[in-house]
Amino acid sequence: MRPSLISNSVRSSVRRSSRKLNWICPSCRHSSTTATITSDPRPVENLPPTPSIKKPFYITTPIFYVNAAPHVGHMYSMVLADVIKRYQQLRGKKAILCTGTDEHGMKVQQAAEKAFTSPKPFCDKGAEVFKILAARSGISNDHFVRTTDPDHRETVQYAWRLLKEKGLIYTSKHEGWYCISDETYYPNSAVHLIIDPATGRKHMASMETGKEVEWTEEPNYHFRLTAFRDRLLDFYEMNPGWIIPAERHNEMYNHIKDGLTDLSISRPYGRLTWGIPVPDDPSQTIYVWLDALVNYITKAGYPWSPDRAFAEGWPANVQVIGKDIMRFHCVYWPAFLMALDVPLPLRILTHAHWTLGKQKMAKSTGNVVNPFYAIDRFGLDTMRYYLMHNGGVLHDADYSNSRIISTYKHDLYGQIGNLASRVTRGKGWNVQNVVREVQYEGWLETGPAYKADMLQWKALTAVEHEVSLEMEKYKVGTALQSIMNMIYKTNQYIQHQGPWYMARKDSNAPYDPRLNTIIYLCTESLRIAGIMLQPYMPAKAALLLDMLGVDEAKRTLEYARVGMDFEYGTSKVDLGKGHKGVLFPPLISDE
């Protein structure tokens, strides 16, 4: 066991196996049942779901600050989480997606002052913009949480009372470097003196983010974060894949191992008025990061009664965050949950940043891409495809309009769009007839006779399994590449086999029985791709499946294998000349 510097009384409070809190949130006081929190003697982070309740798949995005307009990086977080949710639905599972806005804290308070308005209407306006972004981005969120919501306020105050009752909150004078932009304190070792090149002004700044810090001395409340150091380290060691990618798991483990300090979790009301008041002490406002992190369990129904603990999805299967907020989500958040006797999320998926001109996108500098303009210019499904195909999890990705255009030309228009036109608008065959005839040709059990056909058939039979393996590891971009690799191979296959020559009416050659096999394998490639592309490009994938005449009931993952559907082939849309029935039309202009 690691040596610990905490007192025996605090240690027993942290490890106490059975506690109840009699305080009841206002919205529960008139309920016929009382929600109480009880703990379990087993490790709380490993509690199984209640057997009588089938836990939904629960996924969250970070909640976004409303102090400025969103940029394409926010859209990326949303779409990444949405693709994961839609994939789970494709598997036939109930899935819940929660997103929302972070509306408290000094940063928002100052932004409202600069806008010459009070904080609440400022937040209302900002939250509405993010709601619109979610809708315009095709996000299928079930919850949109706002930290100004009454139910969230009640949940935060409930959590505070529980932590206080356990002896995990105490008062102390805090001294240190505070960053308003990051809403956090930094130790002396994490700040340095810099000179603004434009003005020559000298100031202290965070080494991690580059944002200005100021020296602050004030009395406030502290959370005994140091009491959870050993337990956090044990959890990290027992769950080596908890943070994705592994490099960041190791980074956070080393951060905890190097030592923790107790966390300041309130600010004097005289300095910060915009936030949730500390229960029974209106002179203090709850720290924005304790407030904000609790949002994830607010919409999961916390505080819950024992018989409903897992009904709304918690613990989260995966929480999607940017790499810049790892400390809050991978150190503070699990410690808070351990303290509350609430199970930890099963995975934290951290993604890299989008840059513009190799510089990080930031609302404070104006180096951003407006996602609404990008959607208007390139179309929603093109943007969703580009973000998932080119976005980085481990490494940053540089946003480029020219890269979007080249991706559209090569992948969407040149590959999947071209293949769809060749198959559905080809002369000399009828897709429905081909599908029916192949069903009776008998080779589906053993595979086709010709080597080229066999290789194509094997590629189709493998892709669903490949995609499933990647999605289980939340490698969303790699899974998309597996789908597109199948499309690339199919285009090469159809080009080399040349079925249009076999189907020529004026040919003196006898009918080639391979024609059906070739067209069928190409059609199946499109059908399987259409099913698996639904999480990425909902509208275009639906159009592709309509072009093939696939029944809506047969668009789930169980049908994404060769020979699982013989009832399609009659298009649901007009496949006429020109742009009618074209999946991805050519670009009018490259500008």
Parts of the chain belonging to CATH 1.10.730.10: 401-559
- Please list the alpha-helical segments (H only) found in 443-578: 451-472, 476-497, 499-502, 514-532, 538-548
Residue 265 phi/psi, 5-degree rounding, is -125, 20
Specify the pLDDT at position 578: 67
Nearest to 147 by CA among 289, 273, 325, 51: 289
Cα gap 260→262, rounded to integer Å: 7
pLDDT at 507: 55
Dist CA 566 CA 142 (whole Å): 35
By residue count, the chain amounts to: 591
Closest CA to 514 of 501, 502, 525: 502
The values of phi and psi at residue 429, to 5°, are: -150, 160
How confident is the model at residue 503, as a pLDDT?
78
Model's pTM, two decimal places? 0.87
Half-sphere exposure of 433 (CA within 13 A, CB side): 5
Q: Which CATH superfamily is domain 401-559 in?
A: Isoleucyl-tRNA Synthetase; Domain 1 (1.10.730.10)
One-letter amino acid at 211 equals K
> What is the rounded CA–CA span in Å between residue 131 and residue 127?
6
- Residue 117: strand, helix, or coil: coil
Q: Consecutive sets of 10 residues in the chain, 591 residues long: mean pLDDT of each?
A: 44 41 41 32 41 82 94 97 98 97 92 94 97 98 97 97 97 75 69 75 74 78 97 97 96 95 92 94 92 96 85 96 96 98 97 91 81 97 98 94 96 96 88 90 82 93 96 97 97 93 66 86 98 98 97 97 94 82 81 47
CA triple 323-47-302, angle to 5 deg: 70
User: Looking at this protein, which amino acid is placed at residue 331?
Assistant: V
| DSSP letter for each residue of 122-159 | HHHHHHHHHHHHHHHTT---SEEEETTSHHHHHHHHHH
Residues of the chain with CATH 3.40.50.620: 8-14+45-378
Q: b/e map of 468-493 (b: 16 or more CB within 10 Å)?
A: bebbeebbbbebbbbbbebbbbbbeb
- 242, containing H or E segment: none
Rounded (5°) CA angle 334-338-339:
115
Fold designation for 8-14+45-378: Rossmann fold (3.40.50)
Whole-angstrom distance between the N-terminal and C-terminal Cα of the chain? 63
Interatomic CA distance for residues 106 and 351, integer angstroms:
26
The pair phi, psi for residue 56, each rounded to 5°, is -70, 155
Give the pLDDT confidence score for residue 21 in this predicted structure.
44
- Indicate the DSSP class of residue 385: H
- Following DSSP, what letter does each residue of 490-516 receive, concatenated? HHHHHHHH-HHHHT-TT--SPP-THHH
Cβ contact 472:93 at 8 Å:
no
Token pair 């943070």 in the structure block, residue: 243
Q: Which residue has the tokens 């995990």?
A: 168
Ramachandran bin of 442, using left for φ above 0, alpha for ψ from -120 to 50, beta for the remaining angles? left
The encoded tokens of residue 41 equal: 């003697």
Q: How many CB atoms sit inside 10 A of residue 52's CB?
A: 8
- Give me the pLDDT at residue 35, please: 32
For residue 577, what pLDDT is reported? Answer: 72
CB under 8 Å to 544, separation ≥6 — which residues?
416, 420, 526, 529, 530, 533, 583
504 Cβ partners below 8 Å, 6+ apart? 428
Q: What is the pLDDT of residue 13?
A: 45
